[in-house]
Amino acid sequence: MPLGDFRSVFLPYCIRKQPDGRYAVLNREYKPVGFFTRDHVIYEDHPVLVKLKGLTKAKAAKISYAGKNNSDEIFLYNDGCIPTHSKANMRAYLARIELLAGLVVA
């Protein structure tokens, strides 16, 4: 059940590139991280979009739980590897977060 725990609200589920080239870092409900709502959110109406420098296709593949090199939309986990379901899942998720955290935002 999304929005039922801290992870689903405050930790990144995916990052999605917007038409202007900036990214939204989204929670499990596809809302900007920290938004505790199921209401429709227009990302551009909030100061939540950033450019991510250094996000190459190779880096996207390392950040993606599935190893996909699509830098337009990167999922950090899915229902089969939810970080809070096991220590191994959490370690793998945190390794992806470590790579994401190394990117420069502008």
Contacts of 10 (CB under 8 A, 6+ apart): 27, 33, 34
Average pLDDT over the chain reads 95
How far is the C-alpha of 62 from the C-alpha of 57, rounded, in Å? 9
Flag whether 90 is in a domain: yes
Radius of gyration of the chain (CA): 13
pLDDT for 1: 54
% residues pLDDT > 90 (the chain): 94
Asked if residue 14 belongs to a domain, the reply is: yes
Question: What average pLDDT does the segment 24-46 reach?
Answer: 95
Q: Residue 1 domain-assigned? A: no
Domain count, the chain: 1
82 within domain boundaries: yes
- Residue 99 C-beta-side C-alpha neighbours within 13 Å: 18
| Mean pLDDT on 96-101 | 97
Structure-token pair, residue 74: 């990167």
Q: Which residues contact 5 (CB under 8 A, 6 or more apart)?
A: 84
- Indicate the pTM of the whole model: 0.93
Is 98 contained in some domain? yes
Residue 54 lies in a domain: yes
pLDDT for res 4: 83
Q: Which domain holds residue 98?
A: 6-105
Confidence band, pLDDT 50/70/90 cuts, at residue 81: very high
